[in-house]
Amino acid sequence: MSDVEHAGWAVGGPGSRLRRRRSPLLGLISLLLLVGGAVAATLGIVRLASEAGPAQERILARGAVAALDGPQAATASIVSPVAGPATVWLNLGGLSNVRETIVAGSECELVRPDGSRHRIRGSRQGASIATDHFETIGEVTLGAGRNLVSCRHVPFGRVTRRGRLRQEHAFVVERGSPTDGLGGLWLLFGGAAALVLGVPAGMRWRSGTLERT
């Protein structure tokens, strides 16, 4: 007579000598990882959607990027009480490939109160940050006092694609670094990591261990 019992659906049923033992601690850990990860990832997405890009209360100045081969646009003036970082954003929606070409063909110059200058080009950023309606041209460091920012389009890419560079486009200068509004990334990445860990933990808890009664 065989003493072998199939450990499938019959486990724990009538006549079965096997019981499935599940760890309450592992179940609690997997639940916390899955629920906490989902909540954190959702909050991260919400924060990114609401905080990424220039905040209205942090905008220091607005101006126009002069058209390629066109006249110089008006200079934006910024009076800053202290020295500190600022970000120049191109204010333009539309298809990303078109907008990125316009960003790459944008150049801005900052003249600080002490006469020192800082030039940035959209094509030479380490990494550009983009939202639905804004994309960074670059980051500058303002001096304490009256700063002047002027921008214009410069030749970039194929000649046949420079038509949009022959138009003026709006820009804004925001106090702070372009990464200031990306705090939601930590929640998003942390939540995603928790979900990745929670799935196998939940599967391990569900399978449990078999014990003979």
Please write the tens of the pLDDT for every residue from 15-28.
Answer: 566 677 788 888 88
Structure tokens given for 103: 């960003």
**Residues 154, 207 share a domain:** no
**Residues 111, 22 share a domain:** no
**Rounded to 5 degrees, what angle do the CA atoms 84, 129, 168 make?**
85
Percent of the chain whose pLDDT exceeds 70: 79
Query: Does residue 6 lie within any of the structural domains?
Result: no
For residue 84, give the CATH number of its domain.
Answer: 2.60.120
The residue-averaged pLDDT of 84-94 equals: 86
**Residues 91, 41 share a domain:** no
**Residues 153, 79 share a domain:** yes
Query: Does residue 1 lie within any of the structural domains?
Result: no
**Residues 57, 44 share a domain:** no
**Residues 167, 127 share a domain:** yes
pTM reported for the whole predicted model: 0.64
Number of domains making up the chain? 2
**Residues 139, 163 share a domain:** yes
**Residues 162, 78 share a domain:** yes
Distance (Å, whole) CA 198 – CA 213: 30
Query: Does residue 2 lie within any of the structural domains?
Result: no
Q: Is the pLDDT of residue 151 over 90?
A: yes
Distance (Å, whole) CA 203 – CA 26: 10
**Residues 62, 147 share a domain:** yes
**Residues 174, 132 share a domain:** yes
Q: Helix, strand, or coil here: 196?
A: helix
The predicted structure's pLDDT at residue 149? 95
2 pLDDT band, cuts 50/70/90, is: very low
Give the largest CA-CA distance in the chain.
Answer: 99
Structure tokens given for 212: 């003979």
Query: Does residue 96 lie within any of the structural domains?
Result: yes
Q: How many CB atoms lie within 10 A of CB 116?
A: 10
Q: Helix, strand, or coil here: 120?
A: strand
Query: Does residue 115 lie within any of the structural domains?
Result: yes
Query: Does residue 7 lie within any of the structural domains?
Result: no
Query: Does residue 141 lie within any of the structural domains?
Result: yes
Whole-angstrom CA distances from 14 to 11, 17, 22, 208 are 9, 9, 19, 19
Tens of pLDDT, residue by residue over 99-133, are 788 888 999 999 999 999 999 998 888 777 877 78
**Residues 158, 67 share a domain:** yes
Q: Are 25 and 161 in contact (CB under 8 A)?
A: no
Average pLDDT value over all residues in the chain: 81
Tens of pLDDT, residue by residue over 175-201, are 887 766 666 667 778 888 888 888 888
**Residues 60, 25 share a domain:** no
Query: Does residue 205 lie within any of the structural domains?
Result: yes
State which residues form the domain around 153: 53-180
